[in-house]
Amino acid sequence: MKKYFGEFGGVYVPESFTPILQELEEAYEEAKNDPQFQEEFHSYLKDYVGRPSPLSYARRISEDIGCRVYLKREDLNHTGAHKINNTIGQILLARRMGKTRVIAETGAGQHGVATATVCAMMGMECEIYMGKLDVERQFLNVLRMELLGATVHLVEEGSQTLKDAMNEAFRDWLANVQTTHYLIGSVAGPHPYPTIVRDFQSVIGYETREQILARENRLPDYMIACVGGGSNAMGFFYPFLEDEQVHLIGVEAGGLGIEVGKHAATLNFGTPGVLHGSKTKVLLDTYGQVMPVHSISAGLDYPGVGPEVAYLHSIGRLEASFVTDDEAMQGLIYLSRNEGIIPALESSHAVGYLLKHRNRFKDSDVVVVNVSGRGDKDMNTVYDYLKKKGGW
């Protein structure tokens, strides 16, 4: 298993973490080559998650934009997002390793909900770390986690968002490693996490490939996904990396605007650095400190990106773009009113890109947008946004 993707990746952690990560890598190598493990994983994806998720033709948007637009419907998964794919895989891995307790970090709350869900299913103790700011704007998901039996720890340090929640989860893991599995939600963190999460999420891309070939008898011209840490994007893109004719576009959070510095567009404006145990692209200030970031979407409010995502961008295989909070909200309203699908604010960034760059696409183009989650969790944020803006 590769520890590095070009210059990015690796294991930048205190020495005390080394045996923990080696144990995890060995367990995963055995599991991924075990037909029984794979059969059980895919059985849960089918019978519990509800996969395959549909690939929906967006008729009205296609007519408006002027190309053929498809939507990969991860919003229809059990728990409402792509996060459940990875948590199913990792809970089976945790059980295989003999762990009885699971911890996780969460920003938008969808990973927390998915982790609490699989822990309830497996009868494991579950504790979730979540920044105070994210708790306030994603309170519905906090209630869901608690209903599922999880304990939610409020993190009041730093920016009180995803980065700080991840810091606290690492501290917990080191103190309780004998019984505890840290179920990281994105393609971030030290090796082997970026590979493990990518592999479990790649079901998105493999399904998309089969579905688009059945519908169009060819591969898409463009694939568009939002990028925070990058788990939905890597799962979506990974089975297409060797298909150079497929243009991959990752859309980051432009926040309140690049010029004011309140954004989370790491691929676009970050520099190589170390964050949460791996070398990747990070938003750093002139002193080399991690910068505060902002996004209307709690799931994209992260100052780094997965190392494989950074690598793909560095070699030109992945195009990086960004849309602002306002443009993401326009994307949410556009998809809601044209297709009757209310996307998560994370996914709305991908839709916002499609709308913002509509003149880029030809009538012969086939475009697939990953709708990584549904928007129920974001209705309070939408309400507050519209209240400030004076309505629709």
Tokens coding 312: 């793909």
Distance CA 379, CA 102 (A): 29
Q: Which residues touch 369 (CB under 8 Å, ≥6 apart)?
A: 58, 69, 70, 71, 72, 223, 224, 225, 347, 350, 351, 354
**Cβ of 62: how many Cβ atoms within 10 Å?**
18
Cα 95–chain centre separation: 23
The answer to whether the CB of 286 falls within 8 A of the CB of 330 is: no
Name the β-bridge partners of 291. Answer: none
Q: Which residues touch 178 (CB under 8 Å, ≥6 apart)?
A: none
Just list the catalytic residues.
83, 105, 372
Distance CA 52, CA 140 (A): 27
Token pair 């599922």 in the structure block, residue: 148
